[in-house]
Amino acid sequence: MSLPRVHIHLTVSDLAKSQAFYSRLFGAPVKEKPGYAKFLPEFGPVNLALTEGRPAAGGAVNHLGVQVESPEVVQRELARVKAAGLSVREEMGVTCCHANQDQFWVQDPDGVEWEVYHLNFDVEGPASTASPSLAILERPSNCCSD
């Protein structure tokens, strides 16, 4: 990955219908799981994830994020954001959205969550089949259904 990607995660009421729409817009999804689809369009720095469910009262946006090129960038940005006085939630080596990630979260004044993360590796089966070299923690909230 040469450039960071803006991550957008939407909760959609009809995954098949939304997946068909975004497939026409962005091309075929790069990952499909029950209740989940992920798109990485070649033409732009976007990482779009869809999770089927009932959109919350605040709308369809599940969370927003920026995917960065390394765990070191996650740590650098975490230090910068902490120094700026924002409250953060750190999650290193967690299984979230069918992948192992290092990430941290902040929340805007209206409650919209943003994550800065590095995708360490995809998790194709249960978390127990992932690499034993990284601690796998199950994300307790705001993650797509793994």
**Ordered per-residue pLDDT tens for the chain, 146 residues:** 467 899 999 888 889 999 998 999 889 999 999 999 999 998 779 999 999 988 776 667 888 888 989 999 999 999 999 999 999 999 999 998 899 999 999 988 767 888 999 999 999 865 433 333 333 333 345 565 44
Strand 36-39 and strand 61-67: the pairing is unpaired
**Based on the structure, what is the number of domains in the chain?**
1
In a domain, 123, yes or no: yes
- The H or E element containing residue 63 is strand 61-67
In a domain, 31, yes or no: yes
**Domain containing 16 — which CATH number?**
3.10.180.10
54 φψ region: left (φ > 0), alpha (ψ -120 to 50), beta (else): beta
Distance, CA of 87 to CA of 10 (rounded, Å): 24
Q: Phi and psi at residue 123, in whole multiples of 5°?
A: -110, 110
Give residue 61's domain range.
5-138
In a domain, 146, yes or no: no
In a domain, 36, yes or no: yes
Please name the residue ranges forming H helices in the chain: 15-26, 71-83
Residue found by looking up tokens 């803006």 in the block? 6
In a domain, 60, yes or no: yes
Q: Contacts by 38-42 with C-beta closer than 8 Å and gap 24+?
A: 38/97, 40/5
In a domain, 143, yes or no: no
How far is the CA of 72 from the CAs of 79, 80, 101, 120, 137, in angstroms? 11, 12, 12, 12, 20
In a domain, 86, yes or no: yes
